Structure 1
Amino acid sequence: MRLAWAMVRHRFAAFAGTFVAVALGVAVVAGATTIYLSSRPEAPERYNSAPVLVRSPSVGDNAFGEPEYQSWTAGEAIRLSGELAKLPGVTAAAVDPVFYAQRVIAGRPAGDPQDALLAGHAWSSAALGGYRLAAGTAPRGPGEVVVAGVAPGSRMPVLTAAGPATWTVTGTVDGPGFYVADREALRMSAGVRVIGLTVDGDAEAVAGAARGVVGPAGEVVSGGARDSLEPVSVTRTRWLGAQLLIAMVVLGGFVAVFVVASTCALGAAQRRREIGLLRAVGATPGQVRRLMYAETLVISTMAALAGLPLGALTAPLLTGPLVDTGLEPAGFTVTMQPAALAGSFVLGVVVALAGVAVAARRASRAPALDALREAAVERRAMTPLRWIAGAATAALGTLLLVTMPMMATTDQSSAGLGAAMLLLTAAAALAPIVIVPLVRLVTWPWRGAATGMLVREGTLIAVRRVASTAAPVLLTVGFTVLLTGTVATIDDVQGQHDADNIPATVVLAPDGVPGLAETAVQAQAGTSHLPTRLLVTRGATTAGYDAEGAPPSELGPGPAGSSGGVVLDKTRAKDLHASVGTTLDVRWADGSTAALPVRAIRAAAGAGILVPRELARQHDPAALTSAVLLNGPPVASVGARPMSARDYVQIEIDEEGELIDLFLLVLIGLTVGYTGLAVANTLLMATSARRPEFRTLRLAGATEAQILRVTSAEALLAVAVGTLLGAGVAVASLSGVRAAVEAELDRAVALVVPWGTAAAVIATCTVVALAATTLPVLRRSRSAT
């Protein structure tokens, strides 16, 4: 270890690339894991003063792996809250029905549409958040509301699921939300799922007593378990943020290993004589490996200690952008996470040691005669292991591309990405094979010039150096073209495909609201479905399904004497083991139950289950319509606007595209950053090691400008090799993805590649490469003068 420390201290420049790679990797991982661990579920603010909460019972998990809850009816919730209010230590038991309410200012919906879905509450539930009247009186009847920031007596236009309304403000409250009379809140909401208890005394004792009262009719939570009541929309937002953070950690670790491995491999090659001298004086292969591991341990420990504060200080600065882009919920804050810092430190050291493993193994095999070698000619650019790895990954990648159209649709995207990864790895491994003929071809026009000859011969005797520079460029250009091209191609065809499936040319769509109110829908000449959620019991199993309320004309005739019924598609009928005439036991969104006969089974029925629209509205008063397919002129409505079917589809694509673009920006940014580091480090080390060569050129009469032209041409050549290989592999992989999409949609698909983004990446790599080769030569020139 003492020798390792001395080597690092006296030759720190040779380890600078490893130091920076590990430091940045640790910073990325520390920052991302700090944010990830800080992003934990939290109980809604409106329950801050309710240490005990009672939740409606769960019937299992839905398709997303989230618990599926059934609602209490208004009567069930009131009866249960009355029993809970009698428990010792309970000061109040309040039901918490929620409903859609959004303020209208100057004729336009105001505020966040998604927040408005849960903005309406019963006045009695204000006590669960500790909210109190600041002025005025509580609401007592229809059309009365208590809100924050509006003077009592004011008239306030709002939007509800039923339609526009104008409420009278009876009081001002010190908390967020719209609070109406309890009876009105129960009428406007789809059942009740939470009853909150305010207590005077031991909350856990009250929770235990409450469990005895509730029994199987609900679940009592207290303490940290209250955080499980976080709204599903917020939980999904956190999930999106988690995917980006996980991708950052994985990519940061992977690229750090790549850079460290490249740096150590080049460093080992440049220290060939030094290692040969150690072998000549009796050092065993094991001692050489241990020396390199010890050197890496010293430098990685120093780098990790430098990266930890950088990551910890950067994490809080990302809070605003994450919230603004919808990857974290409003109010999210970053807290200190010692476990994240400790784990990042250990990971940084382990990654560095993993990166040096191959280089250490190869260096330990250096013969003692290498101490006597003066020539810088590489004896063998392609080792047997490199041949095997390159050929195997190329074969596997090609096989995946060829067989991808025959795979299941759900597996094709993963297969396409896997094929691209394999082919990019193969291109990096086999790059030395391409470099020799490519160099001869490019330099052929200048074969008689001194500069052309020096570039050609200097590159041909240092193929591994060129390959080491080209590899990170290859991966970055390949990933950039592949990711951006895949997204652009799918977006282009998806928009046209979805628009073609809409049987209308004009659509009435939400405008600043989460959905269309009932009055806006009924005023139009057109068709629409009202989304709702049904719990269907078959035997001993109850499961939740998306359903849609449809007009009678779409349902067809029902069984004699029935007032309702359902239409199933074939997939849903198979899931429910149902046929025409089968009676389904369902529980509506408001908690009420019904037995509905199956009217018909069709090839497709929207969400899979169609029910009469009037029944869906009756049992789900908070439901909103997503769009109306117009067959007449639109009628002006607050929160609605007409548009073409293509524009309507594009809105959703653009919303998803914003998140995808953010993911791409972060991932490509990380990759480009590490690529610049790898290229700069490789060229800096290589150029510094070529000082004797440059000295010989100067003695032979070469000017500094000529030397700069030679080194710059070599750098540009390495970038060109990486660009051509990366772009070629990416376009081949994209062609496979396009073929799979064409087979799925049964239509021609245009290949769209955003070359502008790729050009920016290539330009960045070029600038970094030129700077990394030019600066050492200029510095040597200035020091010589």
Structure 2
Amino acid sequence: MFYLSRQTVSRHRSLYAGSFVALAVGVFLLGLAATATAATIAYHGPAAAKIVVTTLGGDDAAPRQVSVPMSDADVSGLQTVLSLVGVICGFITIFVIASTFAFAVASRRRELGLLRLLGATPGQIRRMVLGEALVVALAASLTGAVMAQLATPLLLRKASYTELAPVRLEPASPWVPLSIAVGAGLLVAMLGARSAARRAGRVGPIDALREAALEPPRIGPVRVVFGLLFMGGAIVMLTLIRPSTGEGVVPLAMFTPMVMVIALTLLAPLVVPWISRLWALPLVAWTRVSGRLARSNVVAAPRRSASLAAPILSISAIAGSMVLSLSFAADSAAATIRDTLRAPVVVTEAADLSRVPGVGTVDAGLPLQLVRISRDDAQLEDAEGIDPAIATRTRDLTPLSGDLDHLTGNTVAISKEMSSLEHYRVGGEMSVTFLDKTAAKLKIVAIVPDALGVNPSLLIPIDLARKHAPTAKPDHLFVLPADGLDPASLVSTIDHAVPAADWEAEQADGVRKGNQFGLILLLGPAALYSAIAIANTLLMGSLQRRHEFVTSRLLGATPAQIRRMVLWESSLVGAVALTLGTAITVTVGILIRHAMTSGVADVPVTVPWAVLLGIAGICLGLAVGSALAPTTYILRRSQPSAAVE
């Protein structure tokens, strides 16, 4: 049977070329993420750049020594991004492979029916299709792994000495990560082909001969049940995107669209015809014949249309949701910085303002780092030493619980985010080790609102900061002018002084740029892969319609009419996929904005229309171009007489 599968793949090279390219690129991206992650794990900075502490232990965890890298040797940010890239690429790969194999099987219904007529059993058909998937997967996975190994040094050079990896990274041993990537490719291919193989096994000899060019009118109940289950799970996840979820809204905003895409892909043969009919109403009224034919082709072949729409739906929903989420996160951060900072003047460099006339109050917090120790782990945290009497005048530090007047001695005030994530409460203790290797237990005296850019997660007494970080200097000074003095005159008097509004805008712009950088790292590979997948799928769809096109020529259709029909048909498929992707994006966007901006007044709304419209335009352009190009080629190389061959 495996020999027959190899022969079948060889005979249908053009049909499986799309699956090969899609899987090879998927394994390439997965392998690249795996080898780069291996390089970050294998990285060992200089001994001076690490601090060794002992965890607390307790319950089932025994105390253990942990080596914590300092900020200049921390590559955990790159590890996190690479993990997310692997998850997103793996997710898209599964759907692309599933849709391409489903399309390949649907295109061979006549051939499969003839095999059944010659005596092949459903089990033999299933094994043959799975064997074909294995042949393609082996070749594609090995090709992708070789490409990943060749590209890894370039990726590491680009990633070194950046914000995510401020060190030089060198390639590690590739065998384990590439083996994982190859194994993932084989697994994804077999999972994607499993449904197609089962569908192929259900092709009957008589039905195949009678319906060789027509798909079954219904989809199986198992697919409907799983589609509804995933949709129910997505609805539950949507209900969890609320203010009380805290930082959990960010991963929810990323994974909820994936679950919704799974549900809509499973239910697509039911959903696509209805949305296609709605989009086709103005199209039919405008174009009449070509638009009507395009609508009929999309509606009459819902499985094929769903397979063509799957990659567009996945990337538009995931990319759109992440773009909106990061944009709204930046809006929320900007509003929080604005509401937290009370001082009208900010000095961006450390300076002695004690003798400057007109200066009223100067908030000169001391930034430092310390290691926060938990039961089974230890993490480097940013902290700031403050004078509560001064800081509460220049910033909004109204405690959510506790009292900042008690911030003296070995005490700490923590942010709401850290309290929620680590389950700290007022009156509890936090075990820390300062970078001078002094261990201490800090009593938690207050929980203050989050204010990224103004306050770090940990606030300690300024005397404690001076004791353990004697060389620390303020990054900036928050200044209150003397009574009756115009802040503008103070800005012109002090070097490196700027109005608070300008400083707030700069901080918000930094957050937005950081989000954009993360978005490029997360979605760049996935977007490239999706573009290839969209082109692949549409190319496969058009190349397999040669007989249909030449038959239409035999019936009197001109090449221009057929091209117009394909144009409207691919546009309809793209419009349906983008409609579903837009619905997911808008739903997640509305909920994520409400969750992030709850309790913050006058939050600006920044919708990156150019990026969102660019995603939609590229997807639609790829869909149309990838369908028209092979159609034009077929029409030029084929004559109407080929319909009787």
Query: TM-score, normalised on structure 1?
Result: 0.67
Report if aligned partners of 1:507, 1:645 keep a CA contact under 8 Å in 2: yes
Distance 1:533 1:691, change over 3 A: closer
Name the residue aligned to 2:417: none
1:676 aligns with 2:531: yes
- Following TM superposition, by how much is the alpha carbon of 1:618 offset from its aligned partner in structure 2, in angstroms? 4.9
Residues 739-774 of structure 1, C-alpha deviations (whole Å, 9 max, x = no match):
22243x253545533121122222222222222222
1:686 aligns with 2:523: no
Name the residue aligned to 2:466: 617
Report if aligned partners of 2:53, 2:68 keep a CA contact under 8 Å in 1: no
1:272 aligns with 2:109: yes
Structure 1 CA distance for aligned equivalents of residues 234 and 593 of structure 2: 16
Name the residue aligned to 1:462: 301
Report if aligned partners of 2:543, 2:634 keep a CA contact under 8 Å in 1: no
> Helix, strand or coil for the counterpart of 1:631?
strand
Name the residue aligned to 2:618: 764
Moved more, 319-328 or 476-485: 319-328
Name the residue aligned to 2:258: 421
- Following TM superposition, by how much is the alpha carbon of 1:498 offset from its aligned partner in structure 2, in angstroms? 1.7
- Following TM superposition, by how much is the alpha carbon of 1:508 offset from its aligned partner in structure 2, in angstroms? 1.3
Name the residue aligned to 2:402: none
- Following TM superposition, by how much is the alpha carbon of 1:693 offset from its aligned partner in structure 2, in angstroms? 2.0
Name the residue aligned to 2:601: 747
Name the residue aligned to 1:503: 342
Rg bigger for which structure? Answer: 1
> Helix, strand or coil for the counterpart of 1:574?
coil
Counterpart of 2:117 in structure 1: which amino acid?
A: A
> Helix, strand or coil for the counterpart of 1:39?
helix
Q: Which runs of 5+ in 1 are unaligned?
A: 48-52, 63-67, 70-218, 220-227, 511-515, 557-563, 578-584
The 5 Å alignment of 1:331-346 reads 331-335=168-172, 337-346=174-183
Distance 1:544 1:773, change over 3 A: closer
- Following TM superposition, by how much is the alpha carbon of 1:717 offset from its aligned partner in structure 2, in angstroms? 0.7
Name the residue aligned to 2:480: 631
Give the one of 482, 493, 497 matched to 2:321.
482
> Helix, strand or coil for the counterpart of 2:533?
helix
> Helix, strand or coil for the counterpart of 1:58?
strand
Report if aligned partners of 1:34, 1:315 keep a CA contact under 8 Å in 2: yes
Structure 1 CA distance for aligned equivalents of residues 51 and 238 of structure 2: 49
Distance 1:317 1:412, change over 3 A: closer
Give the one of 80, 85, 92 matched to 1:255.
92
The 5 Å alignment of 1:137-536 reads 231-236=69-74, 238-335=75-172, 337-373=174-210, 376-402=213-239, 404-405=241-242, 407-445=244-282, 446=284, 449-510=288-349, 516=350, 519-520=351-352, 525=359, 526-532=362-368
Give the one of 489, 503, 517 matched to 1:648.
503
> Helix, strand or coil for the counterpart of 1:379?
coil
Structure 2 CA distance for aligned equivalents of residues 711 and 653 of structure 1: 46
Residues 522-556 of structure 1, C-alpha deviations (whole Å, 9 max, x = no match):
6664122224568999xxxx999976544485599
Name the residue aligned to 2:427: 574
- Following TM superposition, by how much is the alpha carbon of 1:631 offset from its aligned partner in structure 2, in angstroms? 1.8
Structure 2 CA distance for aligned equivalents of residues 8 and 698 of structure 1: 30
Distance 1:61 1:27, change over 3 A: farther
Counterpart of 1:268 in structure 2: which amino acid?
A: V
Structure 1 CA distance for aligned equivalents of residues 139 and 277 of structure 2: 43
Report if aligned partners of 2:409, 2:461 keep a CA contact under 8 Å in 1: yes
Residues 612-633 of structure 1, C-alpha deviations (whole Å, 9 max, x = no match):
54x6435522212232111233
Counterpart of 2:30 in structure 1: which amino acid?
A: V
Report if aligned partners of 1:711, 1:773 keep a CA contact under 8 Å in 2: yes
Report if aligned partners of 2:73, 2:167 keep a CA contact under 8 Å in 1: no
Name the residue aligned to 2:405: none
Residues 649-702 of structure 1, C-alpha deviations (whole Å, 9 max, x = no match):
444444444443233223333333333333333322322332222122111221
Residues 385-435 of structure 1, C-alpha deviations (whole Å, 9 max, x = no match):
333233333333334434543743243334444443333333333333443
Counterpart of 1:426 in structure 2: which amino acid?
A: A
> Helix, strand or coil for the counterpart of 1:626?
coil
- Following TM superposition, by how much is the alpha carbon of 1:360 offset from its aligned partner in structure 2, in angstroms? 0.8
Give the one of 614, 623, 630 matched to 1:776.
630
Report if aligned partners of 1:31, 1:312 keep a CA contact under 8 Å in 2: yes
Name the residue aligned to 2:400: none
CA RMSD of aligned residues (A): 3.9
- Following TM superposition, by how much is the alpha carbon of 1:255 offset from its aligned partner in structure 2, in angstroms? 1.7
**Bigger share in strand:** 1
Report if aligned partners of 1:572, 1:608 keep a CA contact under 8 Å in 2: no
- Following TM superposition, by how much is the alpha carbon of 1:337 offset from its aligned partner in structure 2, in angstroms? 1.9
Structure 1 CA distance for aligned equivalents of residues 308 and 496 of structure 2: 54
Report if aligned partners of 2:243, 2:594 keep a CA contact under 8 Å in 1: no
> Helix, strand or coil for the counterpart of 2:346?
strand
> Helix, strand or coil for the counterpart of 1:625?
coil
- Following TM superposition, by how much is the alpha carbon of 1:240 offset from its aligned partner in structure 2, in angstroms? 0.9
**Bigger share in helix:** 2
1:26 aligns with 2:21: no
> Helix, strand or coil for the counterpart of 1:507?
strand
Report if aligned partners of 1:43, 1:230 keep a CA contact under 8 Å in 2: no
Identity %: 29
Structure 2 CA distance for aligned equivalents of residues 470 and 379 of structure 1: 19
- Following TM superposition, by how much is the alpha carbon of 1:20 offset from its aligned partner in structure 2, in angstroms? 0.4
Name the residue aligned to 1:4: 5
Name the residue aligned to 1:16: 17
1:60 aligns with 2:55: yes
Distance 1:313 1:657, change over 3 A: farther
Report if aligned partners of 1:27, 1:308 keep a CA contact under 8 Å in 2: yes
Counterpart of 2:363 in structure 1: which amino acid?
A: T
Structure 2 CA distance for aligned equivalents of residues 425 and 344 of structure 1: 22
Distance 1:688 1:623, change over 3 A: same
Name the residue aligned to 1:736: 591
Counterpart of 2:3 in structure 1: which amino acid?
A: R
Moved more, 390-399 or 13-22: 390-399
Report if aligned partners of 1:547, 1:611 keep a CA contact under 8 Å in 2: no
Distance 1:769 1:611, change over 3 A: closer
Residues 115-153 of structure 1, C-alpha deviations (whole Å, 9 max, x = no match):
xxxxxxxxxxxxxxxxxxxxxxxxxxxxxxxxxxxxxxx
Distance 1:58 1:679, change over 3 A: closer
Report if aligned partners of 1:397, 1:418 keep a CA contact under 8 Å in 2: no
Report if aligned partners of 1:508, 1:641 keep a CA contact under 8 Å in 2: yes
- Following TM superposition, by how much is the alpha carbon of 1:264 offset from its aligned partner in structure 2, in angstroms? 0.8
1:700 aligns with 2:555: yes
> Helix, strand or coil for the counterpart of 1:341?
helix
Structure 2 CA distance for aligned equivalents of residues 305 and 247 of structure 1: 23
Structure 2 CA distance for aligned equivalents of residues 536 and 672 of structure 1: 38
1:666 aligns with 2:521: yes
Counterpart of 1:527 in structure 2: which amino acid?
A: D
Name the residue aligned to 1:513: none
Report if aligned partners of 1:480, 1:757 keep a CA contact under 8 Å in 2: no
Structure 1 CA distance for aligned equivalents of residues 553 and 505 of structure 2: 62
Name the residue aligned to 2:566: 711
Report if aligned partners of 2:234, 2:260 keep a CA contact under 8 Å in 1: yes
Counterpart of 1:686 in structure 2: which amino acid?
A: G
